[in-house]
Amino acid sequence: MTLRALYIDFNAYFASVEQQLQPAWRGRPLAVVPMLTDTTCCIAASYEARAFGIKTGTLVREARQRCPDLVLVPARPALYVQWHHKLVTLVESCVHVNQVRSIDEMWCALSGRDQQRDRAVQLAQSIKHTIAAGGGPYLRSSIGIAPNVYLAKVASNLQKPDGLSVIEQHDLPEVLYALKLRDLNGIGTRMEARLLACGIETVQQLCAATPEQLRVAWRGIAGQLMYDRLRGKFDTPGNSQRSSVGHSHVLPPHLRHEPGAWAVANRLLQKAAMRLRAYHLVASRFCLTLKFRNHQGQRAGWSEEVALDATAETRSLLQVLQLAWHRYPRLISGTRRSSQQDMQPFFVAVTLVQLSSAASCTRSLFDDNHCGRLDQALDHLNLKYGKGTIYFGAAHSALQAAPMRIAFSHIPDLDLEADQILD
Ligand SMILES: [Mg+2]
């Protein structure tokens, strides 16, 4: 039967780029970290490190305990983006890349004779060969081939590292039964809980459920979509319109207090505003999130949402941030009064949502467009002379604190986001 999608997922991507570039690190347990401090988390782990139980999210302190010889490498996001573009070009030389899904994932549509199993497998092998020859043998990938993109991604997860798996129509649904619900994309902890509440405990039960049952579990059309995907129906996940623009940052130890968090929030919001303008979008809602913890390891979160007149202007957005910050929690709910004192902010995120095209936005009656011209000038100077050339002063103490980072679903634009482009 017809195979229509080929999905490529690079294995331990950031760690593999580092090992490719540094022969001394090859074959060694290695973790990429946002900064060299014990209180942060690993953002990538080589397969050698994974053998010690170290993975994305493992605290560095714990990782060192598990593996004293662990190589810790400060992340070099600009480099990972440059390699990403190189890898897309290499894949593109074999077959057209339909969509980049994240910094280390992309999919290609199969057409003509490539939809036959033998040809599709040959193509996957030639992609791996091209990457090894043009990029390097440490940049391994797992490739999945299936009747649709969703199942091709599932297939790419079946064998790691350096996998190549095919799910054919006639393998369905039995081939999925060995998986756990959480192995399926789109089923996180909350969705799993909802499925359990609906009496669906296994992938086999999920596959046996009717579309109506899945609509109830997913609370809408997404349930029907899952029903179709599990049956191999072809889906074309288009370039869905961007739904949010935001940045988050784990605070370095010297900024783990209210003024530090404030400065970082300012910095992040100024970056987000610049990106919003570059995408010709405006936002109608702003969300601020902070996470706190104390020395006993107790954690608490706080977030505040503010509706605003659709805008992409830095000054207006900073005013909204100020408004939200007035409600900064003096007492953090859910923690004992005795431990309030040493609750420190350690994570800040700003997100702009409810986005629409700047062209379709009605200008405010009171808008004299001075801010628009000011923003244009700021963006121009920062693009020409480097990020941080000119900025609103509240971000000053955090200027070095929020360098470019890579959420897996967001590939930074080097022009817009690189604080320093590495050699
Ligand atoms: Mg990956």
CA 158 to ligand 1 centroid distance, Å: 12
Average pLDDT, the chain: 87
Higher-confidence residue: 400 or 283?
A: 283
Rounded distance between C-alpha atoms, residue 21 and residue 33, angstroms: 17
pTM comes to: 0.66
C-alpha 402 – ligand 1 centre gap (Å): 24
Kindly tell me if the per-residue pLDDT of 334 is higher than 80: no
**DSSP assignments along 17-34, one per residue:** HHHHH-GGGTTS-EEEES
**pLDDT score for 423:** 23
> Does 280 score more than 70 pLDDT?
yes
Residue 422: what pLDDT? 28
**Can you give the pLDDT at residue 404?**
54
Rounded Cα gap, residues 40 and 57, in angstroms: 9
Q: What angle do CA 360, 363, 368 make, to 5 degrees?
A: 145
Quote the DSSP letter at residue 152. H
Q: Does the structure show a pLDDT above 70 at 186?
A: yes
pLDDT of residue 359: 72
Burial of 135 (0-12, 13-18, 19+ CB in 10 A): buried
Q: What residues are labeled active site?
A: 105
Does the pLDDT at position 237 exceed 70?
no
Max Cα distance, the chain (Å): 69
CA of 9 to the centre of ligand 1 (A): 5
Instruction: Of 100, 15, 112, 113, give the one whose Cα is nearest residue 55.
Output: 15
pLDDT at 396 over 90: no
| Alpha-carbon span 6 to 166, nearest angstrom | 9
CA 106 / ligand 1 centre spacing (Å): 10
**What is the arithmetic mean of pLDDT over 313-318?**
92
Q: Tell how far the Cα of 374 is from the centroid of ligand 1, in angstroms.
A: 40
- CA atoms of 347 and 274, how far apart (whole Å): 21
Query: Which residue has better confidence, 394 or 403?
Result: 394
Quickly state the pLDDT bin for 408 (edges 50, 70, 90): low
Residue 411's pLDDT is what?
64
Task: Order across the sheet with 299-311: list the strands.
Answer: 244-250, 344-357, 281-293, 299-311
Helix, strand, coil share (%) of the chain residues, nearest 5: 40, 20, 40
pLDDT of 337 strictly over 90:
no
- Greater confidence (334 vs 71) lies with 71
Compute the distance from residue 285 Cα to the ligand 1 centre, in Å. Answer: 32
Span 1-170 CATH architecture: 2-Layer Sandwich (3.30)
Give the pLDDT of residue 420: 33
pLDDT digits (tens, 9 = 90+) for 5-24: 999 999 999 999 999 999 99
244-250 vs 164-166, strand pairing mode: unpaired
Read off the pLDDT of residues 32-78 as tens digits, 9 standing for 90 and up: 998 888 888 999 999 999 999 999 999 999 999 999 999 999 999 88
Question: CATH topology for 244-417?
Answer: Dna Ligase; domain 1 (3.30.1490)
Q: CA-CA distance, 79 to 100, in Å (whole number)?
A: 17
> For 87-144, how does the pLDDT look when each residue is reduced to its tens digit (9 = 90+)?
999 999 999 998 888 899 999 999 999 999 999 999 999 999 999 999 999 999 999 9
Q: If you search the block for the tokens 């579990």, which residue do you land on?
A: 217
Average pLDDT over residues 355-360: 76
Per-residue confidence band for 272, with pLDDT thresholds at 50, 70 and 90: very high
Looking at residue 162, its amino acid is D
pLDDT band at residue 234 using 50, 70 and 90 as cut-offs: confident
Cα 13 to ligand 1 centroid, rounded to whole Å: 6
